[in-house]
Amino acid sequence: MLDGKCIFCRIIKGEIPSSKVYEDDKMYVFKDIEPKAKVHLLAVPKTHFKLLEEMGETEADILKYMLLKIPSIAKANGCENGYRLLINQGDDAGQTVYHLHIHILGGEKLSDF
């Protein structure tokens, strides 16, 4: 289920343009508009969840699906040498878009954190 007011739902629907790198029936992957690394992709499920805590066992199947798909998507987009996955959760983490998403960062040696 998509949310008409959510920016990522609108990107998935094609109402807001994005630089798509991968799409299937369950997930959508596009370039972050303000990249924090040479490669910075966002992988989003095609179902609107704000936070991990909204998911139950069944809903969380999408996370397993995405994690299994991400390695080939990352490698095909310039992260042959490794990458970092990041999921911000809530205000203290600096989450700005409340549609669950996985950041894929790479294309260069990333700083320690």
Binding site for ligand AMP (CB under 6 A): 7, 16, 18, 32-34, 42, 88, 94-97
101 is a catalytic site residue: yes
Alpha carbons 101 and 103: distance in angstroms, whole number: 6
**CA-angle at 103, arms to 99 and 106, nearest 5°:** 165
Is residue 26 within 8 A of residue 62, CB to CB? The reply is yes
Smallest distance from the beta carbon of 110 to Zn ion, in angstroms?
A: 27
4 binds, among ligand AMP, Zn ion, none (CB under 5 to 8 A by kind): none
User: Where along the sequence are the contacts to Zn ion (CB under 5 A)?
Assistant: 3, 6, 8-9, 48, 99
60 binds, among Zn ion, ligand AMP, none (CB under 5 to 8 A by kind): none
C-alpha neighbours within 13 Å on the C-beta side of residue 48: 15
99 binds, among ligand AMP, Zn ion, none (CB under 5 to 8 A by kind): Zn ion
Positive or negative: CA dihedral 107, 83, 56, 23:
positive
Catalytic residue among 48, 99, 101, 103: 101
- Annotated catalytic sites, by residue? 101
